[in-house]
Amino acid sequence: MSDSENPTAEDVFGSAVERQEDVPLLKGEAQFTDDVSLPGMTHLAVRRSDHAHARIVGIDTSSAEAMEDVVAVFTGQDVEDSGVPNAIPTAWDLPNLVQPQYKMLATDKVRHEGDGVAAVVAESPRVARDALERIEIEYEQLDHVTEPSEAVDRDVPPVHAEAEDNVAFDFELGDAEAVDDAFAEADHTASVDLRLPRIIPNAMETRAAVADYESTTEELRIWMTSQNPHLHRMLMSAATLGIPENRLQVIAPEVGGGFGSKIYHYPDEAVTAWSSMQLDRPVKWQATRTESYQTDCHGRDHETTAEVAMDDDGTVRGLRVETHAGIGAHLSQFGSATPSYLYATVLSGQYTIPAIHARVVGAFTNTTPVDAYRGAGRAEGIYVIERAMDVAARELDMDPVEFKKRNLVPAEEFPYESAAALVYDSGEYERGMDTALDHIDYEALREEQEELREEGRYIGIGVANFVESAGLSPSEAAGNLGSQAGGWESSIVRFDSTGTVTVLAGTADQGQGHRTTYAQIAAEELGVPLEDIEVVEGDTDRIPQGMGTYGSRSASVGGGSIARGAREVREKARRIAAHQLEASVDDIEFDDGEFHVAGAPDRSMHIQGIAHEAYLGHDLPEGMDPGLEVTDFYDPENFTFPFGTHVAVVEVDQDTGDIDIRKYVAVDDCGEIINPLIVDGQVHGGIAQGIGAALFEGASYDEEGHLETRRMDEYAVPHSTQLPDFETDNTVTPSPHNPLGVKGVGESATIAATPTIVAAVSDALQPFDIDHLDIPITPETVWRATGGND
Amino acid sequence: MHTKEFDYYRADSVDDAIEQLEAHDGAELMAGAHGLLPRMKTGEESPPALVDISHLDGLATIDRDGDTLSIGALATHADIAESQQLKQHSSALSDAAGEVGDLQVRNGGTIGGNIAHGDPRSDPLAAVLALDVELSVQGPDSQRTIDADDVFHGAYETAVRDHEFVTGLGVPVQDDAVSAYAKRRNPLSGYAMVGVAARLRLDSDTVTDARIGVTGVADTPFRLPAVEDALEGESVDGDIVEEAAGRVEKAVDPSELRGDSQSSGEYRAHLLSVYTEKAVTAALNRAG
Amino acid sequence: MSRHDISLTVNGTEHELTVEPRTLLVDALREDLGYTGANVGCDTGRCGACTVRVDGDAIKSCTTFAVQTDGASVETVEGLADDGDLDSLQAQFQENHGLQCGYCTPGMLMTADTFLQDAEDPSRDEIREAIEGNLCRCTGYHNIVDAIEDTAGLAGQSQ
Ligand code: FES
Ligand code: FES
């Protein structure tokens, strides 16, 4: 069965195998949600608020209902009256967290531009949209607020009556007293104010759903753009629709990117499913790009002050961080976790900082809800510590590389318990930094920088270190901190009776290449050629349980589960081999799919042949059940901690403000590498999004509370001519507790790239006495900062 | 995303197109539809009827006619960017056409539609002004021409009247002229944040006549007489160019200029001076 | 509402269909004819996910009314593969990992394929210019540029 041109099954792990999922995608044959078309399908469109904050006085749907080809028009009251639970929940509790009602369609007030008020179902998507305009809504406008600090500091009408002061939570982490002491004793302090604007995730495929309710069987099937179909199944069953979980099938077909935005349970998908249940007809909905900008959870939105205390010799003594985080108009599932635990716990970065204290005030504002976007919390936290470290180095007049190196957690300190409540599993931070710096000639660049400055040319070198907490776990610890979901992942590894392998995985791909990496894991563990392995994801009827894909967890937690399941399968096969070869189990060796008796290589059986025996059941060891499959639930003992160092060299043109990225180097340590091609791809895409945030992107609201960046020609998604080529490299420090030594790589580069670029630009502009510029640093920002407008 | 409903007519001649325009109140011509269609999707424009002229024969040609290069209204930006004749004699226009949008837009969009649509960020408009391009227009009863300086009245407003059809452009061929277009691309839209076309006539190394056309900066494309005056009669060297470009800041009022999240009016005014210098320098470099 | 009977030849197969004037070419291809390869990623003609070829030119099918293309020959991503086998550009996208989620890919391929018809030995900057009208949120473009560069290189060798 194995193909001699391919690497042997065991070599497959770690090699740059081309992706198996590419072929249908390249041929245009792959099925995305919008490609699903069912007989009798209707189309749904949502009428959204065009006010930031207003009371709903009345809704008149009659004229829309009267239109030809309009099937139905629904309001929030209709949903209420149907008796479904209709309550979009949070998935993370915090002490004193305010959890206001969040319904599928608004009934009392609209709280941000884009809140859904009514839905039209029609025979065609065009008619559905035409009918939206015929719905008449009378509003009483209310004052609104879009900035987090203003929402809680100023006297503004509350977004929710439940939170008079607009405070969703007031979160603290660390030891305030120890920090005060450190600041009192330290030789120097430095401080920096940081504004992280809202980022719109911009998956190229907008959110979509096709729901098909069958009234005779009372079963609902829904195809949707989901990063976690099982979570969606659970939330739709328990929180919004009330349909029993065992009558609900969620399918995530090909998903065109997610970056966090397709984790959440949004009103629109629930309304689509609910409408299908009301009408007993299939209903399709797909967001326009503007709707996607108005309703996909945004990322970031932090206002922060960070202070560092350090001694003359460059030793950091303490860190104090104060943040106002925008939550948006509604509490999305991880809207409370992202700016609290996912953020404050990484503030120590790669450094030994003895005292850390962070306070985060989560503020409701009349804006699109904010939740996890690639890097979630960790990106914001690493941005804070890296910018603070750069500013502190300036204060000390010390080279930032030297300063950062001096404070790294030494390799021998792992596992390292930080002052921000995490235990880093493993790391070799100095090696990462050195590897990155090997790609440039740091000393020579510093000299060149000096020389060019004489000519009025400004180059800058930015070096940022990051560490990421990936694969949120274990479940019990997460539960203690408030999580309402588990941190495990589940898979089934099954030999089919003819010797092929089916892997059912609870994660859900949106471009990460799971079908290939998971097959590589199974091939390694089972000694079966790749082409005999089929990986299945994204269908709750085929895969019984799963948590999904987010937080850089799939390779480490999902892959870890598959490795464990495959090993258990292999051990069962070994016992069958021992039995049929009439040897003791301890004498059976396994090599590239073949079991043989130690010292007697002729007495052997291939694992794929054993599969057949296992299902025949004619000749199994005493007491053994037939079959060869294992269901695994893997609950890791800790996060994994990917880390690395990114370096950028930029040249800034003072006259025009133009920023040219001369070189971008990424050194990532994601533990063991399953597929270097895919790891590089994840790093590239992450860098692009990190550079996007640093130089181009950012959502904004106008005076009226309207989203200003509402179209793709108004929000700056980086395009091909705006990005450089990337140089990537890796160090490998395995995670000691992961079954594969894997750490994960999905978010790393996004986390690293933003502070790297900002450091480089700030470094270039040192002669202008600029310590920091807020993002996005557009050419105009540079031009103004360097006095161009004087 | 789709547009409001409208009626569609495919014209089989220029006269037929004009008749259709007259017959259907509010109707608009459509060729590539690259300017119009996006605005129809957003509801910024909703003509009740469109008259499709994209299939008319003989309107996509680029021919030399004595001292004039005649460009048919249906020539695409890609046609213009690649035309050897235009590259040789009117390079500001071929430069600008090559800077329009992206590959797909250059393939689909036409020059006549582009000018008639009057998007104030459109690249070719600067070249129309700098090269003193004459528009040929046919109406229900008559034909007329419109001078470059009279074409643009405001954002999406041009001198082309309701029932008129832009049939072509006449670009003067001047053996003593050099021209170029310099652009700062708006990273959001791909349109010009600042686009400057410069055309200079030279007598050995003295500038005898200068025309500078600007797009992207204000709601109407405009010329820069202050810069033109500073160049005329001068013999060419870098200092002159810098000094002339330096007059830009006095010639425009930043508060009247366009602004967006990537660039305020003030910054655009500054860039205008930088790109004026670039365009003039690039034109002069072509004098060899 | 007026309706129009049009004919489109898609990847060599002729189709007759009836459309509203406002039916976009991309909707006619996807909804009426079942060519779901081209995708819709935006409302404003910016993303390029819908790129197809009409009479040999790469255009954005969301910025073209179907009725305008009556009688035209349309090529979509479904027509690239050669008898079921990936063509050279598609194969290079796979080899260089030039796609992740694959949503931008059909449009990206059609633009790149059209560009490569005239470009000999293009530089990386020229390639980046050529795909400027195709946004990709996943790959950061680096591997896409590699794939197009390698395809051009292979075509150069075989001449
Ligand atoms: S769908 Fe975005 S350009 Fe056509
Ligand atoms: S591969 Fe996902 S958008 Fe390009």
Instruction: Give yes or no for residue C30 CB within 6 A of ligand 1.
Output: no
Q: All domains of chain A, ordered by start, with CATH?
A: 9-30+488-634 (3.30.365.10), 145-422 (3.30.365.10), 425-470+640-790 (3.30.365.10)
Exposed/middle/buried for B232, CB within 10 Å: 0-12, 13-18, 19+? middle
* Cβ neighbours, 10 Å, residue A92: 22
pLDDT of residue C83: 85
- Give the pairing type, strands A629-634 and A643-652: unpaired
- The verdict on B86 and B139 lying in the same domain is yes
Q: Which ligand is nearest to the CA of C144?
A: 2
**What pLDDT sits at residue A10?**
57
Same structural domain, B116 and B22:
no
Nearest ligand by distance to the CA of C99? 2
Residue B182 sits in a domain whose CATH number is 3.30.390.50
Domain C4-79 has CATH 3.20.20.70: no
Cβ neighbours of residue A246 under 8 Å, at least 6 residues apart?
A: none
Residue B250 and residue B224 share a domain? yes
* Burial classification of residue B121, based on how many CB atoms lie within 10 Å of its CB (0-12 exposed, 13-18 middle, 19 or more buried): buried
Task: Specify if B238 maps to a domain.
Answer: yes
Whether C4-79 and C88-157 share one fold: the answer is no
Ligand 2 centroid, distance to C104 Cα (angstroms): 5
| pLDDT tens digits along A436-479 | 999 999 999 999 999 999 999 999 999 999 999 999 999 999 99
For A49-127, where are the E strands, in sequence order?
Answer: 54-60, 70-75, 109-110, 116-122
Rounded to whole angstroms, how far apart are CA atoms A510 and B194? 38
User: Residue A172: which H helix or E strand, with range?
Assistant: strand A167-174
For chain C positions 7-46, those within 8 Å of chain B (CB to CB) are 20-24, 27, 40, 43-46
C66: contact with B, CB 8 A cutoff = no
Chain B touching partners, 3 or more CB pairs below 8 A:
A, C
- Domain assignment present for B2: no
Q: How does strand B165-172 pair with strand B68-72?
A: antiparallel
CA angle B139, B141, B145 (to 5 degrees): 45
Return the ∠ at Cα C72 (arms to C66 and C78), rounded to 5°.
Answer: 80
Residue A493's contacts (CB-CB under 8 Å, 6 or more residues apart) are A501, A503, A522, A526, A562, A565, A566, A568, A569, A629, A630, A632
Domain boundaries, chain C: 4-79, 88-157
Distance in angstroms (rounded) separating the CA atoms of residues A531 and A366: 52
* Distance from the Cα of residue B176 to its chain's centroid: 22
Could you read off the pLDDT of A755-773 as tens digits, one per residue?
Answer: 999 999 999 999 999 999 9
List CB contacts of B38: < 8 A, sequence separation 6 or more.
C43, C44, C45, C63
B1 closest CB neighbour out of A288, A716, A719 = A288
ipTM of the complex: 0.98
Binary contact (B2, A126; C-beta < 8 A):
yes
Work out the minimum CA distance from B204 to partner chain A, whole angstroms. Answer: 32
Interchain proximity A28–C78, CB inside 8 Å: yes
Written as six digits, the tokens of A175 are 């030891």
pLDDT at residue A2 in the model: 37
A322-355 core/surface letters (b: 16 or more CB in 10 A; e: else): ebbbbbbbbbbbbbbbbbbbbbbbbbbbbbbbbb
Over residues B41-67, the mean pLDDT reads 94
Let me know: does A225 contact A175? Beta carbons within 8 Å.
Answer: no
Q: Give percent above pLDDT 90 in chain B.
A: 86
Task: Assess whether B188 and B243 both reside in one domain.
Answer: yes
Question: Of the candidates B142, B172, B202, which is a domain's last residue?
Answer: B172
Q: CATH fold of C88-157, please?
A: DNA polymerase; domain 1 (1.10.150)
Over residues A586-608, the mean pLDDT reads 95
Domain-located, residue B1: no
What's the domain range around B204? 177-286
CB C8: neighbour CB atoms within 10 A? Answer: 24
Ligand nearest to the CA of B190: 1
What is the Cα C149 distance to its own chain's centre?
18
Residue A448 has what pLDDT? Answer: 98
Question: Is there a single domain that holds both residue B186 and residue B113?
Answer: no
Place of tokens 């305020």: B264
Q: Do C80 and A27 touch (CB under 8 A)?
A: yes
The string of pLDDT tens digits covering residues A370-401 is 999 999 999 999 999 999 999 999 999 999 99
What are the backbone angles phi and psi of residue A648, rounded to the nearest 5°?
-130, 140
Of A26, A678, A686, Cβ closest to residue C105: A26
Contact B37 C63 (CB under 8 A): yes
Assess whether pLDDT exceeds 50 at residue A165.
yes
Q: Which residue of C has its CA nearest to B105?
A: C59
Between the alpha carbon of residue A52 and those of residues A92, A98, A114, A335, A353, the distances in Å are: 26, 21, 8, 19, 42
Distance C62 CA to ligand 1 centre (A): 5
Count up the domains in chain B and report the number.
Answer: 3
Domain at B22, CATH number: 3.30.43.10
Q: Which residues of A touch B262 (CB under 8 A)?
A: 716, 778, 780
**Averaged over A684-713, what is the pLDDT?**
97
Q: Which residues contact B33 (CB under 8 A, 6 or more apart)?
A: B50, B108, B113, C63, C64, C65, C68
Distance A300 CA to ligand 1 centre (A): 27
Q: A6 pLDDT exceeds 50?
A: no
Euclidean distance between CA atoms A624 and A620, whole angstroms: 6
Is C76 an interface residue toward A (CB < 8 Å)? yes
Exposure string over A693-708, b if 16+ CB within 10 A, otherwise e? bbbbbbbebeeebbbe
Residues B47 and B139 grouped into a single domain: no
- CA geometry: angle C10, C14, C16, nearest 5 deg: 105
How many whole angstroms from its chain centre is CA A441? 34
Instruction: Work out the pLDDT band at A5, boundaries 50, 70, 90.
Output: very low
A127 pLDDT above the threshold of 70: yes
B152 and B252 share a domain? no
pLDDT of residue B34: 80
Per-residue pLDDT averaged across B170-178, rounded?
96
| Cα A630 to Cα A635: distance, rounded to the nearest angstrom | 16
Q: Are residues B136 and B154 in the same domain?
A: yes
How many angstroms separate the alpha carbon of residue A50 from the centre of ligand 1? 24
